Amino acid sequence: MEKVIQEIMTSQHQFFPSIGYGKDYRYRDEHIIGAALIYQKTPIHAAFFKLVPDWGRGKGPIRRDFHFD
């Protein structure tokens, strides 16, 4: 688990004001994609997924693209 958390913390990320309290963080690197809601330095919600290289290329499930602005 520590390896996964370290990979998340070192991945490219951006944050945006949330609709309510806190900030929405979006993470992405070569192997992981995810998002988290952080309020007063406390994670309220987080979801992360391992990227599969063949997804979206006709060899696996279709996924939505994750965009950074």
**3-20 residue pLDDT tens:** 888 888 888 889 999 999
Contacts of 19 (CB under 8 A, 6+ apart): none
Instruction: Give which of 22, 32, 39 is closest to 66, Cα–Cα.
Output: 32
pTM, entire model: 0.66
- The neighbour count for residue 5, using CB atoms within 10 Å, is 10
Q: What integer is the mean pLDDT of 55-64?
A: 54
Q: What are 20-36's pLDDT values in tens digits?
A: 999 999 998 888 899 99
Return phi, psi of residue 29, to 5°.
Answer: -145, -165
Q: How far apart are CA 48 and CA 53, in angstroms?
A: 16
Greater confidence (57 vs 4) lies with 4
33, 12, 36, 34: which is closest to 24 by C-alpha?
A: 36
